[in-house]
Amino acid sequence: MSVRIKAVVDRFVKELKEALDADIQDRIMKEREMQSYIEEREREVAEREAAWKAELSRREAEIARQEARLKIERDNLEKEKSVLMGTASSQDNQDGALEITVSGEKYRCLRFSKAKK
């Protein structure tokens, strides 16, 4: 009878070891799958981040171009404004007068002198 008990116990231990080995292998496979999933997700996130940074850089460059264009337009507007607000022309009239146009009004200066420094 003890031989039968020993055989049952040996068979139980053997099945238990096989079950433990199968469980360990299953856990190892799940761990590998999880690690693979994590690596794939990290790669996806890194790709999205790189794309986002590239788009951000492109937009910043576009903003810089637009700011430069606006600065040029603002400078041109200031030049036009100064031309429209006051224009001096040294037309050599018969009497040698200097004509100045300010806001559409013409002024004549018969005598003038250089500004002192």
Other beta carbons less than 10 A from residue 97's beta carbon: 16
Residues 11 and 52 reside in one and the same domain: yes
pLDDT number for residue 3: 86
User: From first to last of its 117 residues, what are the pLDDT tens digits of the chain?
Assistant: 688 889 999 999 999 999 999 999 999 999 999 999 999 999 999 999 999 999 999 999 999 999 999 999 999 888 877 766 655 555 555 666 777 766 667 777 766 566 666
Residues 65 and 9 reside in one and the same domain: yes
Residues 102 and 62 reside in one and the same domain: no
Both structure tokens of 88: 């001096």
pLDDT number for residue 95: 64
Residues 79 and 98 reside in one and the same domain: no
The domain of 101 spans 85-116
Residues 64 and 106 reside in one and the same domain: no
Residues 95 and 80 reside in one and the same domain: no
CA distance 69 to 59: 15
> Within 13 Å, how many C-alpha atoms sit on residue 96's CB side?
3
pLDDT number for residue 79: 80
Residues 47 and 93 reside in one and the same domain: no
Residues 32 and 78 reside in one and the same domain: yes
Residues 55 and 93 reside in one and the same domain: no
Give me the number of domains the chain comprises. 2
